[in-house]
């Protein structure tokens, strides 16, 4: 824990969360307030990051967009972690036909291109935030299944598992009480990386019109709104939301790498 707290990735993530939670409370601009008289204003003392094509303050929308992106990313990665870890633990512990069946299902899911799979499901079910979270979770579940399964399989013959069997514990009790706690390190490292990946997917789908809708603030949507203005010189409309995406992804990716390093050192 001390090694993690000493990492700059932890403090960068803390800064992002504090900015997302408390930053909007300090802003006087309305994140969805339209004002045609302030369209495409460059960065200034009144509008730090300028305004977009609807006259909305970009800095305020980035702060509110952090809430949207972080909440969606955490929800999707958390859902994938929960289901994927349980399925991976059961698959690795039980083995046999159930293990083979689950591995084939995960391979089928992973064989589809990520964006194409998400587009197909969202088009069929409808574009809502709930469906967006579920789709991203489904895409990420196979990763957790394979990671946890690889950790659990050597544990089947471990002494503490044999002792639990001898004590009369059932399969679910052994999996939840004795096996899953030993997979926390690799799972948490993957969770951080999945948060970074989820931010990218959310931004990409919103850019394509299959994520968050106007006028709700979301980083990928803001980049899409400003893309057409780059050729006319209004670079700030998409530049600052793009930087926000880069910082968010970098922070989670750095955190995941740090957790991996700590887990490998303690192994």
Query: What is the pLDDT at residue 223?
Result: 92
Which tokens in the block code for residue 141?
């579940």
For 143-199, the pLDDT digits (tens) are 999 999 998 888 887 888 888 888 888 888 888 888 888 888 889 888 988 999 999
Query: What is the pLDDT at residue 25?
Result: 80
DSSP 3-state assignment of 170? coil
Burial class (CB in 10 A: 0-12, 13-18, 19+), 131: middle
27 located within any domain:
no
115 located within any domain:
yes
50 located within any domain:
no
For residue 215, whether the previous peptide bond is cis, meaning omega lies within 30 degrees of 0, is: yes
39 located within any domain:
no
CA atoms of 167 and 108, how far apart (whole Å)? 38
For 58-112, the pLDDT digits (tens) are 999 999 999 889 999 999 999 999 999 999 999 988 888 888 999 999 998 888 8
Structure pTM?
Answer: 0.86
Which tokens in the block code for residue 226?
């400003």
Which tokens in the block code for residue 256?
């995941």
- The answer on pLDDT for 212 being more than 70 is yes
Domain that holds residue 214: 2-21+57-266
Q: Where are the alpha helices (DSSP H) in 112-218?
A: 114-125, 129-152, 159-166, 171-173, 184-207
Q: Where are the beta strands (DSSP E) in the chain?
A: none
Q: How many other C-beta atoms can be found within 10 angstroms of the C-beta atom of residue 130?
A: 10
Query: What is the pLDDT at residue 7?
Result: 63
238 located within any domain:
yes
Judge whether 169 and 177 are in contact, CB under 8 Å: yes
Query: What is the pLDDT at residue 127?
Result: 82
Query: What is the pLDDT at residue 3?
Result: 53
Judge whether 206 and 212 are in contact, CB under 8 Å: yes
147 located within any domain:
yes
How many structural domains comprise the chain?
1
Query: What is the pLDDT at residue 266?
Result: 60
Query: What is the pLDDT at residue 4?
Result: 53
Q: How many other C-beta atoms can be found within 10 angstroms of the C-beta atom of residue 264?
A: 11
CATH of the domain at 180: 1.10.3720.10
34 located within any domain:
no
Judge whether 126 and 189 are in contact, CB under 8 Å: no
48 located within any domain:
no
The highest-confidence range among 42-46, 209-213, 257-261, by mean pLDDT, is: 42-46
């Amino acid at each position: 824990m001390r090694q993690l707290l000493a990492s700059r990735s932890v403090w960068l993530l803390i800064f992002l969360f504090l900015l997302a939670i408390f930053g909007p409370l300090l802003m006087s601009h309305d994140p969805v307030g339209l004002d045609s008289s302030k369209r495409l204003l460059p960065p200034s003392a009144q509008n730090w990051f300028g305004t977009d094509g609807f006259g909305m303050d970009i800095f305020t929308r980035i702060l509110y967009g952090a809430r949207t992106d972080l909440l969606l990313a955490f929800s999707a990665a958390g859902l994938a972690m929960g289901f994927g870890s349980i399925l991976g633990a059961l698959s690795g512990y039980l083995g046999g036909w159930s293990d083979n069946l689950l591995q084939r299902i995960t391979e089928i899911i992973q064989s589809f291109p990520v964006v194409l799979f998400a587009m197909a499901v969202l088009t069929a079910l409808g574009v809502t935030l709930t469906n967006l979270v579920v789709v991203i979770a489904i895409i990420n579940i196979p990763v957790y299944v394979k990671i946890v399964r690889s950790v659990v399989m050597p544990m089947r013959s471990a002494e503490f598992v044999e002792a639990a069997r001898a004590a009369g514990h059932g399969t679910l009790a052994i999996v939840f009480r004795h096996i899953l706690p030993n997979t926390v390190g690799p799972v948490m490292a993957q969770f951080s990386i999945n948060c970074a990946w989820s931010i990218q997917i959310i931004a990409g789908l919103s850019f394509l019109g299959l994520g968050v809708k106007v006028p709700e603030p979301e980083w990928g949507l803001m980049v899409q709104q400003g893309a057409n203005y780059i050729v006319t010189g209004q670079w700030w409309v998409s530049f600052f939301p793009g930087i926000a995406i880069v910082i968010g992804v970098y922070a989670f990716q750095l955190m995941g790498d740090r957790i991996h390093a700590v887990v490998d050192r303690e192994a």
